[in-house]
Structure 1
Amino acid sequence: MKRVGILCVGNDSPGINAAIRSAVVRGLNLNIEVVGIKDGFEGLLRDDLDVLLRPNVSGILHQGGTILGTSLFVPAEDDEINKVKEKVEQYSLTSLLIIGGRLGAKAAINLMKFDVPSVLVPATIDNDLSFTDFSIGFFTAVEHVTNALDILHSTAEAHHRVMIVETMGRPGGWIATVGGLAGGADFIITNAEKINFEELIDNIRNRYEGKKRFSLVVIESGVEISEKIKNECGCTNNENAAEIIGKFIEKRLKPEFDIEWRYTNLGYLQRGGTPTAMDRIIATQMASHVIEMIKAGKSYHAVGIKGFSLTEVPYSETMLNIKPVDFYLKELTKLFF
C-alpha cells in the first residue's frame, strides 16, 4: 500500500479542509493510506502525524482554516532537508502532498533537489501562482472583499465620504482588482501598475460634482508612494499607503467639497471563514487528482487549473514567478470609474 503524507505550508486559505477531505476519501478508494501531518514541516520533524480516515474528515468540507494546522517554515538548508528526507523514509511515505502557495512551491522545489518526492496543490488567496489560473481560497477572499464594499457603500453614501479599503494580495493585484470590480469600487490601486493620481482626483471630483457625492477606493497592501506625493500632503514614512492616499485626496479636494475620508483595512477577514462553493469544488478536484497522480507513480508535479481543466505542471523555478492580475480585468475596471 502506498502512503501519502499530507501537510500545509504557508498561510491558511479557505478550502484547504475540502482538499484534505478529498485526498483522504480518494485515497481510501484507491487503497492509498493518507497520513495527516500537523503544522507543516515542523510537525513532521517532531513526529506529529497520524493516519486519516473518513471519520477524521467528516463534516470539514465547509470549515475554513485547516484541521492539520500550518506553518511558514520551509526546509532550505541541507541539514533541514535531510531531516525531512529521513522522516519520509522513516514513515515509509511514498510521497508528500503539499498544500500551499509560494512557500509550498519553494518547499517542493527544495525537496526535489534532494530526491524527496512530492506533489503540490496550490492554495493561496493571493492567486499569484504562475502555473494555475486559480488557487484555493481566492474566490472566498474576493467574496469577503465584495461583501465589505457592499457594507461600506451605504455608510459612504450616507456621510458623503471617501472610503478607502485596503486588501491583501500583493504584489499580484488579484484580490483588489477582482474584489473591487465585483464590489463596485470607484478606483482600484494595486502593485501591478503605477498609480495615476490625477486620474484618481478627477474621478472623485466628477462624482462629487454630480449626484454621487461619495467614493469607494480599493488599495492593495504594500503599494509604494513617491516622496513627491508624501511631501505634497505632509505625510511621513510611518503612514501606510492607504492613509497617504486619504490625505492626498483631502489636500486636493477638501477646499472644493469639504471631503472627509475613512480607512478600513480588511486584514485577516479576507483569509478566514467558510469557503465559497467554487473554492470547495476546485479544492476537491485538485486534491483528488493528485492522489490519482501518486497512484500512477507520478511526483515532482503541481496540479493547476487552466480555464476549467486540470493540468499537471512539472516542478521548476518558474513556479515561483509572480502572476500579475490579468490585463483585461485591469482595463475593465476603468470602464466603471
Structure 2
Amino acid sequence: MGEKRRIGVLTSGGDCAGLNAVIRAVTHRASSLGWEVLGIQEATHGLLSRTPRAIPLSFDRVDGILTRGGTILGTTNKGNPFAFPMADGSLLDRSPEIIEGYHQLGLSALIGVGGDGSLAILRKLAQQGGWNLVGIPKTIDNDVGATERSIGFDTAVNIATEALDRLHFTAASHSRIMIVEVMGRDAGHIAISAGIAGGADVILIPEIPYTLESIGRKIKENQDQGKNYSLVVVAEAVRTEQGEPITITDSLGQCRLSGIGQYLSERLCGQLGAETRVTVLGHTQRGGTPSPLDRLIGSAFGVAAVDLIAQGKYDHMVTWQQRQVLSVPIAEAIQTYATVDLQGPLVKTARGLGICLGD
C-alpha cells in the first residue's frame, strides 16, 4: 500500500465540465494507495477559513459525480491571495493565511486544477509555503500552452456546435444572418472548432484581423449561390476593426469581454440591409453534462496527478500530448498560452472549405 499520506484537491478559476471526473479519479487512485483525500472547498478561499473548509473524499462521496457538470467542491475566480480585496476597499496580502491553511490540514501534497492564472497563483503559494503541488490544466479556452487538451474544452465545443446546428433551421426559415458569440478570452479555439463542425459561413477569431467588407462579400456570395442565410461565429475577444476591445462593466465594477456579436450585427445590418440576430452562448458553454472526451481526459489527468505525487515529482503539471499523458514543470506549462495556429490544420481546413475568416 505504501506510505500513508493525506492529499488535497481543489478546483480553481471558472467552472467547466469534467472537473468532477478529476475529483473522482483522484479519489479512486489515491484511495487505492491507502491515502486520505480532502476536497478543499471554493479553491484557496477554503484555505482562508479557520478551520480550513475541506471535506473527506471517499468512494461513496464521489459515486455518481462522473456525469455531473461543474464541481462538487465549488470554485472561485475572484480574490488574488496576494492582493485580496477587503470590505473597506483596500487590498491585503492574505497568502500567509492560505499557506497556513494547507499546513493546518496536514497535507502531504495538493492537486490544483485550474488555468494558467490559477496555476501561477498556486505555484507562488507553494514556493512560499513549502507546499508539494501538482497541477492539472482546466480551461474551456484550451489556451494552456503545454497541453493539447484542457478539461472543459471539448464540452464547450460540443455545446457551441449544437447551437449552430439548431440555428441553421431558424436562419433559413427567416432568411437571416445569425451571429453566434462564443467564449474565448485570449484565443479562438472554441470559435474555429465549433464553426467548422457546425457549418459556419464566417468564423472570426482574435488571431486574425477582419474587415466588414470581407464578411459582406461572403454573405453576398452565399446569396448569389442561392443560400438565403448565413451563420457567423465570433469569439468574445474579437475586437472592432479599429482594434478596440468590446467590454462591459458589471455591477461589481468588474470589466469583462462582451458585446462583439451585437457590434457586428448592427454594422452588418447597416451595410447589407439584411436582418440579423445575435445569440450569446456565454456560460452555457461551461455547464451541462461533460462530454465523453472530457470525462476521459479528466479521469486520465486525475490518475496521473496522484501518480506524480507517488513519484515525488512536484511542481509539475500533467499534459495531454500526442495521445499520451505526460508532465512538464508548471513554470514551463504556463509560460505561454496557445493561440490558434495560423498555419495549423484547422485554419487550413476552414479556408479549404471556403469559410470566411474575415481577412
TM-score (norm. length: structure 1): 0.92
Instruction: Please name the residue that 1:330 is paired with.
Output: 347
Q: Is contact 1:41–1:74 with CA below 8 Å preserved after alignment?
A: no
Q: Which of 235, 240, 261 lines up with 1:225 in the alignment?
A: 240
| In structure 2, distance between residues paired with 1:79 and 1:187 | 46
Question: Where does structure 1 differ by over 3 angstroms across 4 or more consecutive aligned residues?
Answer: 226-229
Secondary structure at the residue paired with 1:142?
helix
Q: When you count helix as a share of all residues, which structure comes out higher?
A: 1
- Percent identical pairs in the alignment equals 36
Secondary structure at the residue paired with 1:264?
strand
Instruction: Please name the residue that 1:33 is paired with.
Output: 36
Q: Is contact 2:211–2:241 with CA below 8 Å preserved after alignment?
A: no
Asked if 1:201 is matched to 2:216, the reply is: yes
Alpha-carbon deviation of 1:326? 3.0
| In structure 2, distance between residues paired with 1:45 and 1:253 | 55
Instruction: Please name the residue that 1:85 is paired with.
Output: 99
Secondary structure at the residue paired with 2:339?
coil
Query: Considering only aligned residues, what root-mean-square deviation do their CA atoms show, in Å?
Result: 2.0
Q: Is contact 2:135–2:330 with CA below 8 Å preserved after alignment?
A: no
Alpha-carbon deviation of 1:35? 0.5
Q: State the Cα deviation string for residues 267-289 of structure 1 (Å, max 9, x = none).
A: 11111000000000000001101
| In structure 2, distance between residues paired with 1:90 and 1:79 | 19
The aligned runs of 1:137-148 (5 Å cut-off) are 137-148=152-163
Q: State the Cα deviation string for residues 168-225 of structure 1 (Å, max 9, x = none).
A: 0121111111011110110001111111433211110010112111000001113211
Asked if 1:4 is matched to 2:7, the reply is: yes
Instruction: Please name the residue that 2:253 is paired with.
Output: none
Which segment is superposed worse, 102-111 or 36-45? 102-111
| In structure 2, distance between residues paired with 1:250 and 1:13 | 34
Q: Unmatched 5+ residue regions in structure 2?
A: 84-91, 245-257
Q: Is contact 2:9–2:38 with CA below 8 Å preserved after alignment?
A: yes
The aligned runs of 1:184-263 (5 Å cut-off) are 184-227=199-242, 240-254=259-273, 259-263=274-278
Which segment is superposed worse, 44-53 or 264-273? 44-53
Q: Unmatched 5+ residue regions in structure 1?
A: 230-238
Secondary structure at the residue paired with 2:139?
coil
Q: Is contact 1:44–1:84 with CA below 8 Å preserved after alignment?
A: yes
| In structure 2, distance between residues paired with 1:116 and 1:84 | 11
TM-score (norm. length: structure 2): 0.86
Q: Is contact 2:17–2:69 with CA below 8 Å preserved after alignment?
A: yes
Asked if 1:159 is matched to 2:164, the reply is: no
Q: Is contact 1:32–1:295 with CA below 8 Å preserved after alignment?
A: no
Alpha-carbon deviation of 1:227? 4.8
Alpha-carbon deviation of 1:228? 9.9
Asked if 1:21 is matched to 2:24, the reply is: yes
Q: State the Cα deviation string for residues 144-165 of structure 1 (Å, max 9, x = none).
A: 0000000000000111100000
